[in-house]
Amino acid sequence: MIVTVQQHIAQQQESLYPGARGTFSWLLSGITLATKMIQARIRRAGLLDVAGSAGGTNVQGETQQKLDVYANEALVHCLGVRDAVAVLVSEENEEPVTFDRAPETGKYVVIFDPLDGSSNIDVNVSVGTIFSIFLRPEASGGPPHAAALQQGSRQVAAGYVVYGSSTMFVYTAGNGVFGFTLDPNIGAFVLSHEHLRMPDYGHYYSVNEANAGKFPAPYPEYLAQLRDGALGREYSSRYIGSLVADFHRTLLKGGVFLYPPTRTHAQGKLRLLYEANPLAFIAEQAGGLATDGQTRILDLQPTGIHQRTPFLTGSRQEMEAFARLALR
């Protein structure tokens, strides 16, 4: 029997939250609609004038790709018309997008990276969309960005879409991780991976080893352990350079993904709110772990909406091996 993502969310709400009115599922439908629009553009990237630079930079100082702009506009539009949304935070916008909605109506804060890895579009490498959802704080009289500065442990849902050989929507609402594959014949995300679990260990590690000479301790020693079989198994290096694709492989196959700090980026490069937090929530719900090298990602208190962080995530055995080195 086919189960679409909307049907699955409705079933989850009925069994876990019998008093729910469908507001959350309506919100998620805005994300799935936008990602279908993005997927359709990506599939035609070689045929339409949608690849390459848009000629500007985002708040991070990074060159905006044309598809970055389109993906951001699609998500802002599809989520902005949902009455439940009070605040939108995007990698592409310096400030939050806010809506004048009463607290009893505008209940949610949605944070997203509209198109992670977009510079890889030109060479046909998988890219993705990442999102995180929080409840709007009851005392939200401060500036709009304050509503987004919540610890990752307070997320009510998180997920990503990977646009690759197939388009897959992966999400958690705190009751396990579920994967849905887009069936182009019916235009719907269909349940394909139920209760995803990250293996206890894997045979792959993923890191940009070109920067290894800039990594602080204990990263070089840890990588040497992985290469030398010191953890009791052989490892192969797999690094795509597209966060969603690297994380997706780690989720399914196990192992470890590392984005350490360097001498030039002591605070790391990945963003806490719309990259590390949602992926950490998914990793933990699937049985894995995620830290900044010292502290659990979901325990970090954000101080800015574009805050950066080191990021390590993966199977328990690999993550615990790193923690033992870090504690020495």
Residue with tokens 């990945």: 270
Mean pLDDT of 77-98: 94
pLDDT of the residue at 108: 93
Mean pLDDT of 36-46: 88
Domain boundaries, the chain: 5-193, 204-326
Looking at every residue in the chain, the average pLDDT score rounds to: 90
319 vs 144 pLDDT, higher one: 319
1 alpha carbon, distance to own chain's centre: 29
Which residues lie closer than 8 Å to 40 by C-beta, 6 or more apart? none
| CA angle at 277 for the pair 273 and 282, rounded to the nearest 5° | 145
pLDDT of the residue at 60: 61
User: Is the confidence at residue 223, as pLDDT, over 90?
Assistant: yes
pLDDT of the residue at 27: 92
User: Is the confidence at residue 235, as pLDDT, over 50?
Assistant: yes
Q: What is the pLDDT of residues 260-304, one digit of tens each?
A: 999 999 999 999 999 999 999 999 999 999 999 999 999 999 999
Rounded Cα gap, residues 311 and 174, in angstroms? 21
Query: E strand or H helix at 75, and its extent?
Result: helix 66-80
pLDDT of the residue at 91: 94
Radius of gyration of the chain from Cα atoms? 19
Backbone angles phi, psi at 244, to 5 degrees: -60, -45
pLDDT of the residue at 33: 96
Tell me whether domains 5-193 and 204-326 share a fold.
Answer: no
User: Is the confidence at residue 54, as pLDDT, over 50?
Assistant: no
pLDDT of the residue at 16: 64
- The pLDDT-based confidence of 13 (bands split at 50, 70, 90) is confident
User: Is the confidence at residue 132, as pLDDT, over 70?
Assistant: yes
The amino acid at residue 82 is: R
Q: What is the pLDDT of residues 246-267, one digit of tens each?
A: 999 999 999 999 999 999 999 9
- The pLDDT-based confidence of 10 (bands split at 50, 70, 90) is confident
User: Is the confidence at residue 305, as pLDDT, over 70?
Assistant: yes
Q: Which two tokens stand for residue 171?
A: 């999400």
pLDDT of the residue at 202: 97
Rounded Cα gap, residues 183 and 287, in angstroms? 28
Q: Are the C-beta atoms of residues 22 and 84 closer than 8 Å to each other? A: no
Q: Does domain 204-326 have CATH number 3.40.50.1820?
A: no
pLDDT of the residue at 250: 98
Q: Candidates 3.30.300.90, 1.10.3720.10, 3.30.540.10, 3.20.20.70; correct CATH number of 5-193?
A: 3.30.540.10
Q: What is the pLDDT of residues 104-118, one digit of tens each?
A: 788 999 999 999 988
Peptide bond into 218 cis (omega under 30): yes
Rounded Cα gap, residues 164 and 182, in angstroms? 11
41 alpha carbon, distance to own chain's centre: 20
Backbone angles phi, psi at 318, to 5 degrees: -70, -40
Which residues lie closer than 8 Å to 16 by C-beta, 6 or more apart? 175
Summarize the chain as % helix, strand, coil (round to 5). 35, 25, 40
Backbone angles phi, psi at 321, to 5 degrees: -65, -40
pLDDT of the residue at 121: 81
User: Is the confidence at residue 119, as pLDDT, over 60?
Assistant: yes
